[in-house]
Structure 1
Amino acid sequence: MHRFYVENDQIHGKEIVITGQDVNHIRNVLRMKIDDEIIICNGQGKDFYCIINQISSNEVIADIMSEQDTDAELQTKIYLFQGLPKKDKMELIIQKAVELGVYEIIPVVTKRSIVKLDEKKKELKKLERWQSISTSAAKQSGRGIIPRVSEVMTYKEAIDFASKLEYNVIPYEKAEDIDKTRDIVKSAKGKQSLGIFIGPEGGFEESEIDMAFNRDIKPVTLGRRILRTETAGLAILSIIMFELER
């Protein structure tokens, strides 16, 4: 069954009004007709099973037959604190992290970050692009929410934000005990929120690692191989997703 996303203000009682590009997709690409069934998601974890009632050039109106919580979401909200990488690596990280179930992505400026994004206009343009990638990835993977890409934070701001979460981990190349890492990952199950810290190219400086340890962010190892920044986050996300999946 085809799936579409709307904002809550497009839901009116037992009707949902679809506008924008999805109208053309429904009419001219899928060639759907009145009484065809579709799923509409509000982007906040709720799926509506609907029947198309009206189709016009600028909107599609569907009647809600039933609704339920989307079953695609993890019970734990995962926050990815990603050290800003070079070039377009952030776009790949966002796309794949959303597919893997991340709840929110926080770009972080660290001491070894080459990209700084100091200019507000430049940062805003990047954020709009990144949020668009998150939205597309959420739709493609059937997510129940559209993960948010937050404004860029300093490392200290990210640490302070993470202190409000229930559980936090940081892959660290000097962490050696793989069995301890397995225990840490298993302990994430049942937590309401989880933060993952990933450094940029070159990783974190020791002072940043010390700051993380002092705030009870737990070090984990990803094995004996050195992973690129765009690989490390996806690796730990995959491991944690497998453990948290119902």
Structure 2
Amino acid sequence: MQRYFLPYDYDEQATFELRDSDFHHAKNVMRMTVDDECFLVFQNQVAIKAIIVSIEESTIVFSEVSKEETQKEMPVNVTIACGYTKGDKLELVAQKGTELGMHELIGFPSKTSVVKWDEKKRVKKTQRLEKIVKEASEQSHRQVVPNVQLYRSFKELLEKAKEFTHCLVAYEESSKQGEKSQFATTLSACNPGESLLIIFGPEGGLTPDEIKVLEECDVKSCALGPRILRAETAPLYALSAMSYQWELCEK
């Protein structure tokens, strides 16, 4: 069943309205008519099943049928931070990361990043990624649309790291040295309602100097197994492991 996200908190009221691009999608793409049903999701993570009661010139009006009871979000808010990569790799992480439960996506420039984005490019790319995560949230029946931020500098990432309960950086040298425990130990230490930042480098990886600066900010280096993963694969592997640990394992 189709899903739409509304830009305000749920409140008990008689009707709800769909406007702008979502109105166009529902009316012209999905060809929804009166008495059709879909899910409406609000900013405070409440989701309801709703039925169309009327279609106006620029709005579709719904009334509530029932609330969705199943929790779709991971118990820990996970932010994925990726060094700027070539091509559409960040778009792949945005789409698949949303499906896997990512709460927020950050892009940042690393010393090894090949691409260089000016302000105009960053704004355009942000808009593109926001569209991708919104559509992926609808498809995967999320109750939250992940936030997207593209930073101008590595320093912004260091400042952001101060906001999290737990911080990790995936570092290929840790894999080469046989480090196995930090990733699993951190996941086990996470409690519901806490936040986790995990940082990934671009194609060339993060430099030893960048790792040193991150570790000085209490970001712990970790391996993701014995194999070296591509820049776009590593975040998806990490999210999959988190979902297994927190959502599928017996407590």
- After TM superposition, the score normalised by the length of structure 2 is 0.87
Amino acid at match of 2:173: K
2:199: which partner in 1? 197
Q: 1:180 to 1:132 in 2, by over 3 A?
A: closer
* Alignment check: 8 A CA contact 2:182 2:221 kept: no
Q: Give the letter aligned to residue 34 of structure 2.
A: I
Per-residue CA deviations over 1:214-239 (Å, capped at 9, x if unaligned) read 22212221122111101111111111
Aligned-pair distance for 1:33? 4.1
Partner of 2:189: 187
More moved, 54-63 vs 158-167: 54-63
Q: Which residue of 2 aligns with 1:3?
A: 3
The answer on whether the counterparts of 1:184 and 1:220 sit within 8 Å (CA) in structure 2 is: no
1:81-120 correspondence to structure 2 within 5 Å: 81-117=81-117, 119-120=118-119
Q: CA RMSD in A?
A: 2.4
Query: Kindly tell me: are residues 164 and 26 of structure 1, through their superposed partners in 2, closer, same or farther at Cα, counting changes over 3 Å?
Result: closer
Whichever residue aligns with residue 84 of structure 1, its letter is Y
Judge conservation of contact 2:2–2:138 (CA < 8 Å) in 1: no
Letter of the structure 1 residue corresponding to residue 128 of structure 2: R
**Structure-2 separation of matches of 1:109 and 1:99:** 25
Deviation, 1:12, is 8.4
Q: Classify the secondary structure of the residue corresponding to 1:125.
A: helix
In the other structure, the counterpart of 2:134 is 135
Aligned-residue offset at 1:14: 2.3
The change in CA–CA distance for 1:66 and 1:231 in structure 2 (over 3 A counts) is same
Which blocks of at least 5 consecutive residues in structure 1 are unaligned?
Answer: none
CA distance in 1, matches of 2:231, 2:133: 18
State the alpha-carbon separation in 1 of the partners of residues 155 and 23 from structure 2. Answer: 44
Q: 1:229 to 1:29 in 2, by over 3 A?
A: closer
Change (3 A) 1:163 1:28: closer
Deviation at 1:53, TM superposition (A): 1.3
Q: d(CA) in 2 for partners of 1:124 and 1:244?
A: 34
Q: Distance in 2 between matches of 1:11 and 1:22?
A: 20
Distance in 2 between the 1:114 and 1:44 partners?
Answer: 38
- What one-letter code is carried by the residue in structure 2 that aligns with 1:220? C
Secondary structure, aligned partner of 1:230: coil
Q: Which runs of 4+ in 1 moved over 6 A?
A: 9-12
Give the alignment of 1:202-221 within 5 angstroms: 202-221=204-223
* Aligned-residue offset at 1:241: 2.1
1:20: how far off?
3.2
Mapped to 2, the partners of 1:43 and 1:9 lie a distance apart of 5
Distance 2:67 2:213 in 1: 45
Q: What amino acid maps onto 1:54 in structure 2?
A: S
Percent of aligned positions with the same letter in both sequences? 31
Aligned to 1:63: 63
Q: CA deviation at 1:164?
A: 1.6
Q: Show the 5 A alignment for 1:149-164.
A: 149-164=148-163
- Supply the AA of the counterpart residue of 2:142: R
Distance 1:220 1:55, change over 3 A: same
Q: Number of matched residues? A: 245
More off after superposition, 20-29 vs 160-169? 20-29
